[in-house]
């Protein structure tokens, strides 16, 4: 009898996480760099913020995640601590316009990053956590240099910046750009840290280069079409949902939805086994 599964695979649910990867929306550095690659070396685009078109992309993705119900499933939003990713994350996954009558901190104050946008509420939102491991390739390009932690805390009060140890950006170097291999290694460290989190459905708002070099390590055991879906370059404000699987048996999570059966206790041999016992 042919028991082939046709390339399908099953994994226990408690050994999986659902990840929603998002590249930030269009930033001013993207526009300038497309016209002239040397613009990426200009301090005019230090920690670049979103363009008006970028905010339009954010609004479109927000409408999508709400229409699909995705916004209600997210347990945690992880963000690279740069203005364009912070703006994208709160615009897509945050609450509505902030109201002074609601006793919660705003995710973003009005006009943060010279956006011209109203404040964004954190009411009824999942936690937002800034993590430096998922930053863009580091060094040389000022657009990838972050501001101080204090500045971000002032502009994005409801985001948790506690994992960022230094107020100043000590990761970025003016004279040296991080190699592809180095960012891939950092990406795998991030993925291992991500797996250690208790949350099961996580959104990650990050950068094209980081996503490409991190996700390229995955999908090598899949069809090329699937591999392409995983690791081709992301467009601005593109979202891709994926399942992270623990193949190493390293997970210690208990299966929350499994039920062992046999309650109350009693005979439960399958009929074939009973027949064999009687023969």
Catalytically annotated residues: 24, 136
The long-range contacts involving 241-245, CB below 8 angstroms and separated by at least 24 positions, are: 241/18, 241/19, 241/20, 241/21, 241/70, 242/18, 242/19, 242/20, 242/21, 243/16, 243/17, 243/18, 243/19, 244/16, 244/17, 244/18, 244/19, 244/191, 244/194, 244/195, 245/11, 245/15, 245/16
Query: Could you tell me where the DSSP H helices lie in the chain?
Result: 28-35, 52-67, 83-93, 149-155, 180-196, 208-215, 224-231, 271-278
> What six digits make up the tokens of 19?
């990840």
Q: End-to-end alpha-carbon separation of the chain, Å?
A: 25
> What six digits make up the tokens of 169?
């950006």
């Amino acid at each position: 009898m042919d028991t082939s599964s046709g390339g399908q695979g099953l994994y226990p649910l408690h050994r999986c996480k659902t990840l929603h990867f998002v590249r930030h929306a269009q930033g001013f550095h993207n526009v300038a760099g497309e016209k002239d690659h040397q613009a990426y070396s200009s301090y005019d685009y230090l920690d670049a913020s979103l363009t008006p078109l970028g905010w339009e992309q954010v609004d479109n993705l927000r409408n999508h995640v709400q229409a699909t119900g995705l916004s209600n499933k997210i347990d945690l939003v992880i963000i690279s601590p740069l203005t364009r990713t912070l703006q994208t994350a709160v615009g897509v996954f945050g609450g509505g316009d902030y109201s002074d009558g609601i006793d919660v901190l705003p995710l973003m104050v009005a006009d943060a990053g010279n956006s011209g946008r109203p404040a964004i509420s954190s009411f009824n939102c999942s936690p937002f956590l800034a993590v430096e491991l998922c930053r863009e390739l580091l060094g040389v390009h000022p657009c990838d240099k972050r501001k101080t932690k204090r500045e971000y805390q002032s502009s994005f009060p409801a985001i948790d910046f506690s994992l960022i140890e230094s107020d100043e950006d000590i990761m970025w170097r003016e004279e040296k750009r991080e190699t592809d291999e180095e960012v891939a290694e950092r990406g795998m460290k991030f993925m291992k840290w991500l797996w250690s989190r208790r949350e099961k459905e996580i959104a990650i708002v990050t950068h094209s280069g980081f996503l490409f070099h991190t996700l390229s390590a995955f999908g090598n055991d899949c069809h090329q079409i699937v591999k392409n879906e995983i690791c081709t370059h992301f467009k601005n404000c593109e979202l891709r949902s994926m399942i992270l699987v623990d193949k190493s048996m390293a997970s210690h999570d208990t299966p929350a939805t499994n039920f062992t059966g046999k309650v109350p206790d009693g005979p439960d041999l399958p009929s074939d086994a009973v027949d064999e016992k009687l023969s």
